[in-house]
Amino acid sequence: MSPTGQEGGPPKIAGTHLALRDFVDSVRHPKGAMPPFGSQQVSDQDLGNVYAYLHSTDLVAKISLPTSANAKHGQQLYTSFGCYQCHGYEGQGSGQTGGARIGPPQIPYSGFVAYVRQPSGQMPPYTAKAASDAQLADIYAFLQSRALPPPSKAIPLLNQ
């Protein structure tokens, strides 16, 4: 068995217990054999996404999307909370605001909740006082109902 506690391969990092800032610092200035990753190699937003994913691996069993989630109500909340201002009306993202594509979500519901509660970058955190778990479930259901964009090969103007 290797010093990492596993048979070969890298150490298991899923389920990090670090706060986001400490996680980013440990990637930027690691201890041990891991090489440092500067902001030129990986953005803070990307590290925030990795952080949310790592937390989602622990929370999947604990937080699942309620069957009562209502996409229509989620659309109303998405608009009233102002999510569209950065992420677009369909969750398509925006190059002008820097808001990432969030619809349809590519992360599990638990990762979505973890990220909304403790985001990276310029997104403000939405505590349970600002947005309840039921409201986040409705917003996630709305985002799930959005269609993926067509592949670029299917857009004639892009293939001329």
DSSP 152: G
Residue 59's nearest CA partner among 133, 153, 151 is 133
Residue 32, Cβ density class (10 Å: 0-12 exposed, 13-18 middle, ≥19 buried): exposed
Residue with tokens 């799930």, as numbered in its chain? 144
Mean pLDDT of 26-36: 82
* pTM value > 0.85: no
Residue with tokens 């952080």, as numbered in its chain? 51
Share of the chain above pLDDT 90, in %: 33
Per-residue pLDDT of 79-131, as tens digits, reads: 999 999 999 999 998 888 888 889 998 888 888 998 899 887 788 999 999 99
Within 10 A of 131 (CB to CB), how many other CB atoms are there?
19
Structural domains for the chain? 20-59 (no CATH), 71-144 (1.10.760.10)
Structure tokens at 57: 């691996």
